[in-house]
Amino acid sequence: MFADQAALSTPADVARRRINATLRGPVLHILAELLPEVAMLPRERAYDIILGDCAMLERCFRTFRAARKQFRQVLVDRRDRPVHGDNQTLSCGRSLNQIVAMVVRSAAKRHFRLRLDPWRQSRATWPSPNRPNMVERMMTSFRPAPPRPAPPPSAANQLYDAIKNYLLHDWQVPIIPQYARMTPAEVRDLGSRILDFRDAEALAAYLDGGEEAGLPAAPTLALPPVQPAETVEAAPVDHRARLSELLTDDGARLRMKTVVPILLKPEINAVIRPANSEALRVLCRTISGTGAATLRQLAVEFGLPSENVSVFLAVAAQTLPAEVYPRLFGVAGDPSLVRLVIKRARASGLRPDSPPAAFAAFMRRLFAPFAPNA
């Protein structure tokens, strides 16, 4: 039986088993000699514990890079010759870079599952039917078993599937917790540009405040002294909404405690024009599902203040059919569609400091063809 199983194994399976055996064996033994915290881990669970701890995994990678000569016994090719390049093929049939990517992906998948799907402790169990009698067993023994419906992909798996092709380098390990904050749509929208964020702080700044946040400030230029008769124009004030105020504590969706007081302001209420209190409650329920990606586009990329963000979303919820709004602006919405709306808004002459009434009029014109009663 074991011979048959080995014959059915693909080369990729064989390479994967060999890599895992080397990582859990010789590599872990060398790391234990170099890092006391690894030596203190229970041997049978040490590898899994390290994969589940991004900070410890980063320290292991750093130790490997700093003391690479200590690992020369495992960095060999099929002829047992030393391998010095990260792209050279090792005895397992994979390069060091490929193995690093494999480890980073494994760590990311574990972190995503712990962060996004902590309730999935085990696989779903299927109820066993009542035990059939002998005749029933004979009648059904020739029938194929009915297919079991595949469970829907979890949030962690969706994110992992979107980002796995960009998990390539050991320097990405400390950024994994920030990757977990992103939606699959945001990852697909950034594409390979996600590799431009070389540290956790840079990606956190982007997620919290846009691409410009965290970049080094431009050098100060030496300007000629201003004549007393001239006046100096004040620097523009940034009135854009703060994501920390717009997003819920988990960073996933719109914080209604911020938006409801804005919608109740007389000047904003006059712009939105809800038919009655019940209409306003329905509107609030709809926009409460607005996703983080949409809010980042409006507040960060477009630079809208909280009032205009609220009007933008409220009028969209009023105008669009209830089932369409979450597909455009919800947690699973597409950021590229939001950018298209922003592009149209800019083309129509709207600016972040345009009055809320102008944004309301634009949104009604834009989505009027899709209104339920259109």
How do the domains of the chain map onto residue ranges? 2-116, 243-370
Neighbours of 347 (CB within 10 A): 8
Instruction: Determine how many CB atoms are found less than 10 A away from the CB of residue 231.
Output: 7
Do 179 and 153 meet the contact criterion of CB atoms below 8 Å apart? no
CB atoms within 10 A of CB 92: 21
Which pLDDT value is given to residue 238?
A: 53
For 113, other C-beta atoms within 10 Å of its C-beta total 19
- Is the Cβ–Cβ distance between 293 and 247 less than 8 Å? no
CB 320 within 8 A of CB 341: no
H-helix or E-strand containing 51? helix 46-51
Q: Both ends of the chain: CA-CA distance in Å? A: 67
Query: Tell me, what DSSP letter sits at residue 236?
Result: P
Task: Please give the structure tokens belonging to residue 12.
Answer: 């990729």
10-residue stretch averages of pLDDT, the chain, 374 residues long? 47 84 94 94 93 95 94 92 89 91 95 80 43 48 57 85 92 95 87 87 81 38 37 47 84 91 93 90 93 88 91 93 89 84 90 92 87 64
Per-residue DSSP letter, 309: H
Whole-number pLDDT of residue 190: 83
Who contacts 169 (Cβ-Cβ below 8 Å, separation ≥6)? 100, 101, 104, 195
Residue 57: CB atoms within 10 Å? 22
Spatial contact of 33 and 39, defined as CB atoms under 8 Å apart: yes
Give the pLDDT score at 369: 81
The tally of CA atoms less than 13 A away on the side-chain side of residue 23 is 22
Report the distance separating Cα 187 and Cα 203, nearest Å: 12
Closest CA to 204 of 182, 171, 173: 182
CB-based contacts of 265, cutoff 8 Å, min separation 6:
307
Contact assessment for residue 65 and residue 173, using Cβ atoms and an 8 Å cutoff: no
Q: How far apart are CA 363 and CA 342, in angstroms?
A: 11
Whole-number pLDDT of residue 154: 84
